[in-house]
Amino acid sequence: MSEEDSGWNAPKSAMIGGAGVNNAGEPPFEIRGFSLGNSVIGLGLLITIASFAEYLAQDEGSMSGLGFVYGIPIFLAGSALKYAEIEPVPAFTQPKAEGLFEKKATETMRKIKQDVTRHRYGDEAHLDTTVKKLGLVVPGKAYPQLRELREEVAENRVDLAFTMVWQSLDTPYKMWADERRVKKYETFFGPGVTAEVVKVDAEQRLVGIRLTTTTAPAPMKESAPQEA
């Protein structure tokens, strides 16, 4: 780890809006629940097929010509979107943790979940800014790919354990688990969390960053004044 790396401080832009959640180039509305690429491809095919059918039904119809002009480019645009598309990440919730996310999740956790459980376009990977800022991308190699989120009850049976599971084909586990880097995770994804690295599946090279919320200690009650 370089000297610059050891003196790392998370920039404000890397926090909320943030924690590596890349909002650059996002549309002014959120696309969720369907693939924009598939929708545009379908629209392009529909226009092209309808135009072709009209062309066969009548001699050189003006509408069929316009359909070919617009239908094929729309189809190609949809294909380009599909090529740049990243599928949503599944989120698995432990039965005992039902409802715990809403009660305990930090703002950063909520933003991460909102960001990665929808289709994204034009990024290297989900949370690509995160892994890059944390020094988890080997130069010249592929980005680690986020595969799933896990929501579980922490060991103290009170707090939330929120795990981001990556498939890390090129970044070795020791880089993820470096003690100084684990401290960075707490700063980067904080406040209000502790962090640890878990080896999920060595064969598939799955590694997780587990963030556990920290329950604030109950305020101490003032003792009643004793009578003389």
Secondary structure, 3-state, the chain: CCHHHHCCCCCHHHCCCCCCCCCCCCCCCCCCCCCHHHHHHHHHHHHHHHHHHHHHHCCCCHHHHHHHHHHHHHHHHHHHHHHCEECCCCEEECHHHCCHHHHHCCHHHHHHHHHHCCCEECCCCCCHHHHHHCCCCCCCCCCCEEEEEEEEECCCCCCEEEEEEEECCCCCHHHHHCHHHHHHHHHHHCCCEEEEEEEEECCCCEEEEEEEECCCCCCCCCCCCCCC
- Average pLDDT on 9-35 reads 49
Higher pLDDT, 222 or 90: 90
Rounded to whole angstroms, the Cα distance separating 80 from 15 reads: 31
- Average pLDDT on 97-102 reads 92
Least confident of 32-41, 58-67, 79-88, 148-157: 58-67
Phi, psi of 190 (to 5 degrees): -80, -175
Rounded mean pLDDT of the chain? 79
pLDDT at 13 over 70: no
- State residue 65's pLDDT score: 66
Rounded to whole angstroms, the Cα distance separating 75 from 120 reads: 19
The Cα angle at residue 74 between residues 71 and 75, in degrees rounded to 5:
85
- State residue 34's pLDDT score: 67
- State residue 162's pLDDT score: 97
Least confident of 61-70, 84-93, 168-177: 61-70
Amino acid type, 165: V
- State residue 9's pLDDT score: 36
- State residue 132's pLDDT score: 94
Q: What percent of the chain has pLDDT over 90?
A: 50
- State residue 24's pLDDT score: 47
pLDDT at 207 over 70: yes
Higher pLDDT, 144 or 48: 144
- Average pLDDT on 111-134 reads 90
- State residue 8's pLDDT score: 32
- State residue 223's pLDDT score: 47
pLDDT at 210 over 80: yes
- Average pLDDT on 179-198 reads 95
- State residue 197's pLDDT score: 97
- State residue 195's pLDDT score: 97
